[in-house]
Amino acid sequence: MDPFITISHLHKTFAPNRESSTRALIDVSLSIPRADFAVISGPSGSGKTTLLNLLGGLDSPSSGSIDLGGTLISNLTEAELSPLRRDRIGFVFQAHNLIPVLNARQNICYVMRLQGRSRQEQENRVSELASTLGIEKLLDKYPDQLSGGQQQRVAVARAVASRPELLLADEPTASLDATNAVLLLDLLEQLNHNEGVTVLISSHDSLVINRARHSIVLRDGRIVRDQPESHETP
Amino acid sequence: MYKMIHHMAWNNLGRRYGRSLLVILMIGASLWGLLFMEGIYDGMTEQIISNTIQSDSGDLSLFARGSRLEPSLKLLLPDTLLERESLHPGPGSLIKSRSARLSHTGLLATAHAARQVKIQGVVLKQEIHHAELSGKLISGTLDFGRTRTGAILGQGLAEHLRVTVGHKVILTAQDQQQNINSLALRVTGIVRSGNQQIDEQLLYLDLGHCREFLGVAQGFSQLSLILHEQADVHLIQNQLSLELKDQSLDILRWDQLSPALLQSRQVMETFNLICNLLVFCVAGLGVWGVVTVSVLERLREFGVMLALGTSFLQIQVQVLLESILLGLGGFVLGAGPGAATLIWLAHHGLDLQIFQEGLQAFGLDTIIYAVIRTGYFTTAFIAIFLACASSVILPLHRLKQARPITILNQP
Ligand SMILES: Nc1ncnc2c1ncn2[C@@H]1O[C@H](COP(=O)(O)OP(=O)(O)O)[C@@H](O)[C@H]1O
Ligand SMILES: [Mg+2]
């Protein structure tokens, strides 16, 4: 079977024409199958965020290509990337994910509303996710009334609400304590298992790295280890 | 979708309600000031114009050809002109009132002083109605007495001659046969025409008495017409010119007779336009400041929205909506009390007693009645709307340059 994501010879250099230019990614090639649960680890500054941003269509590479389920996203313009992000990718960032003027329910529905899904569909999906993620009681609260762990759970619900093919989570546990981090990981695994969404997490937290089914390690912008199905190997 | 944008725009304004309220108050207050100035200034201008129309030019005036520039007792309109159907006020006519005046210059003297006057021989009943003299009488009565030797003077003239009601004055003038005649008159009333220039020369006499004095058997110098609707003035001027074309007449509109008045109306309109521009600037700067700050402090939020697939256009619409809501708030806050103020001032007037002398020099009463026009509101609305719409251009440009989507992963 063809891999879901194929990255080949990807380079990303920030401020290429200046003296202060940074080579954030150097010749990165990688393939990720559908429904994978992959963790990109590596020290701070190794290029994890840069890689996730390129995969999510938030930024474009200096050279190389990214194929997402048959779409060559490295060639798309901003106008083409916007609907791609809306329809095919879900994001969870490190913190402050939620739109402050919308309550939890409205945040979860946000992408579905952008897509013009019916009210009924939105409501069904919200109650389904709320019970999976244990946030039924939080739905009418605004982000500033939620704890960090609660906010991250709502962010996960929003990221998967429109059933994207790919969920990108950049250090999602960095602002959480261990209990909340474990809870969040459980939920991500559960969604990966139940809904078949491909999950790609960046982290340098061992709690997260230990859950990886596919472990990728970056150092100084290069892949130093790429171990699919890593938990099966001793 | 747009329902959500609307919802978010409202909530964003509410989230920083102190700031939003301040801008709304600022726009509202400046709009209120604008409306007040417009209404009062317009009221002043219209007051001068209508006073002059009533006491002098009418909306339209008929003269014997050439007599306007070189008045002469030999160039008069015939009495028969008054019998024409088309010059009759009354039911079904576009003419509201008319007054036939026999005008001539003369010298009015007391034992101590003398002034040049413009004698106006009038049928008093007609003139009272036409020039709305009842409202302008400041002392005495509107009556020439049983012997018809009474005289009604303009206030300025009476002050110069230091005469009051009951005083005797001597009028001297050259009659139609070039003889110098004199006539003793008793002051029966003093009126304020509302136009200083007119006021300083105005002397009303009984038309019959005046004809006798000036040796004129029949005829009059001016037929002043006031219309029900001033807008009809061109139409009626054309109709009358056509109908009376073989009569050797000059038929002139008020703005042809007093071009300065038309000019003062244009000055007023220009001034009001400038005031609108000021409100445009106040609204524009206020909203610009608020939108700039609120956009730059929400970079992360916009970044999240963009990452989720919101298009930049949708974000632009949301920011624009926020700014327009501020403007609308300001408009409502200013237009409501502004309209109420003007309606009140249109009924009760604004008493500017302290500026009395200055105002009267311009031919104004001390009580100014405001004018209220829908145009004030539509122009102000457009000005505020444009100000709000254009004030988001720069902040949105800065938002685009900040590339909010790239700051998402910076904790
Ligand atoms: N927008 C940017 N401009 C310039 N350099 C950047 C930018 N983003 C990241 N970098 C640099 O690229 C490298 C990789 O950063 P990043 O992908 O954020 O690493 P990580 O997420 O693993 O901590 C770092 O050296 C960082 O300083
Ligand atoms: Mg990072």
Shortest CA gap B407–chain A (Å): 10
Please judge whether B304 and A58 are an interchain contact, meaning their C-beta atoms are less than 8 angstroms apart.
Answer: no
Please give the pLDDT value at position B350.
Answer: 87
- How do A214-219 and A37-41 pair as beta strands? parallel
Query: Which residue of A110, A154, A160, A162 is the best one to mutate when testing the B interface, meaning the one whose CB has the most B CBs within 10 A?
Result: A110
* Residue nearest (by alpha carbon) to ligand 1 atom 2: A14
Q: Which of A182, A208, A231, A216 is nearest to A55 (CA)?
A: A216
Interface check B400 vs A, CB under 8 A: no
A93 and B304: CB-CB below 8 Å? yes
Supply the angle between the helices B374-391 and B17-52 in degrees, to the nearest 10.
150
Interface A-B, measured as beta-carbon pairs within 8 A, has a size of 74
| Torsion of Cα atoms, B69 then B70 then B75 then B80, to 10° | 20
Is a pLDDT exceeding 60 seen at residue A42?
yes
With bands split at pLDDT 50, 70 and 90, how would you rate the model's confidence at A234? very low
Place of tokens 């004018």: B371
pLDDT tens profile B284-336: 998 999 999 999 989 999 999 999 999 999 999 999 999 999 999 999 999 99
Dihedral sign from CA coordinates of A185, A189, A194, A197: positive
At residue A190, what are phi and psi to the nearest 5 degrees? -65, -45
Are A168 and A176 within 8 A, CB to CB? no
Cα angle at A159 between A155 and A160, to 5 degrees?
A: 125
Measured CA angle at B338 (ends B384, B375), to 5 deg: 60
Q: Is A21 helix (H, G, I), strand (E, B) or coil?
A: coil
Work out the percent of chain B whose per-residue pLDDT is above 70.
Answer: 97
The CA distance from B255 to B203, in Å, is 24
- Identity of residue A208: V
Residues of A in contact with B409 (CB under 8 A): 49, 52-53, 93-94, 170-171
Beta bridge partner(s), residue B402: none
Q: What is the mean pLDDT of residues B265-287?
A: 90
Residue A66: what pLDDT?
96
User: Which of A95, A111, A114 lies at the smallest CB-CB distance from B411?
Assistant: A95
Closest Cα to atom 13, ligand 1: which residue? Answer: A24
Nearest chain B residue (CA) to A85: B309
Average pLDDT of the residues of chain B: 91
B305 vs A95, A99, A170: nearest CB: A99
CA distance A107 to chain B (A): 10
What pLDDT score does B409 carry? Answer: 64
Ligand that lies nearest to the alpha carbon of residue A28, given by its number in the listed order: 1
Residue A221 has pLDDT above 50, yes or no: yes
Q: At residue B209, what is the residue type?
A: H
Backbone angles phi, psi at B117, to 5 degrees: -130, 160
Mean pLDDT over residues B155-170, rounded?
Answer: 94
A50 → chain B, closest CA residue: B409
- For residue B197, the tally of other CB atoms under 10 A from its CB is 15
Is A55:A168 a contact under the CB 8 Å cutoff? Answer: yes
The backbone region for A116, taken as left when phi is positive above 0, alpha when psi lies in -120 to 50, beta otherwise, is left
Ligand 1 binding residues, C-beta < 6 A: A 14-15, 22, 24, 42, 44-50; B 406
Which B residues 288-347 touch A at CB under 8 Å?
A: 300-301, 304-312
The single-letter DSSP state of residue A42 is: -
Q: Give, in degrees to the nearest 5, the angle at Cα A158 between A154 and A161.
A: 130
Per residue in B340-393, pLDDT tens? 999 999 999 888 777 777 776 666 667 889 999 999 999 999 999 999 999 999
Say which amino acid occupies B206: D
CA distance A10 to B255: 80
Q: How far lies B38's CA from each of A106, B276, B293, B334, in Å?
A: 47, 9, 33, 13
**For A3-228, CATH number?**
3.40.50.300
- Locate the domains of chain A by residue range: 3-228
Report helix angle A119-133 to A148-161, nearest 10: 140
Q: Which residue, chain included where needed, has tokens 């199958």? A: A33
Q: How far is the CA of A45 from the centre of ligand 1 (A)?
A: 6
Question: Mutating which of A73, A96, A101 best tests the B interface, going by the most B Cβ atoms within 10 A?
Answer: A101
DSSP, collapsed to helix, strand or coil, labels residue A18 as coil
A78 contacts on B by Cβ (under 8 Å): 312
Q: How confident is the model at residue A186 (pLDDT cuts 50, 70, 90)?
A: very high
User: Is residue A232 scored above 60 in pLDDT?
Assistant: no
Residue B300 sits at φ, ψ, to 5 deg, of -65, -45
Measure CB to CB from residue A94 to each of B8, B405, B411 and give the nearest one: B411
The contacts of residue A166 (CB under 8 Å, 6+ apart) are A4, A5, A55, A56, A68, A88, A89, A90, A197, A198, A200
**Residue B317 φ/ψ, nearest 5 degrees:** -60, -40
Q: Residues A126-184: pLDDT tens digits?
A: 999 998 888 999 999 999 999 998 999 999 999 999 999 999 999 999 888 899 899 88
- CA–centroid distance, residue A221 to ligand 1 (Å): 9
Look at A99 and B304 and tell me if their CB atoms are within 8 Å: yes
Helix (H) or strand (E) holding B273: helix B259-296
Task: Residue B312: list chain A partners with CB under 8 A.
Answer: 78, 82
Every domain of chain B and the residues it spans: 2-52+261-407, 66-247
Q: Alpha-carbon distance B384 to B284, whole Å?
A: 7
What mean pLDDT comes out for the span A80-106? 92
What DSSP letter does each residue of B111-156 carry, written as one string? SS-EEEEEEEEE-HHHHHHHTTGGGTEEEE-S---TTS-EEEEEHH
What pLDDT band is residue B410 in, cutting at 50, 70 and 90? low
Distances (CA, A) of A12 to A77, A78, A111, B347: 17, 17, 29, 74
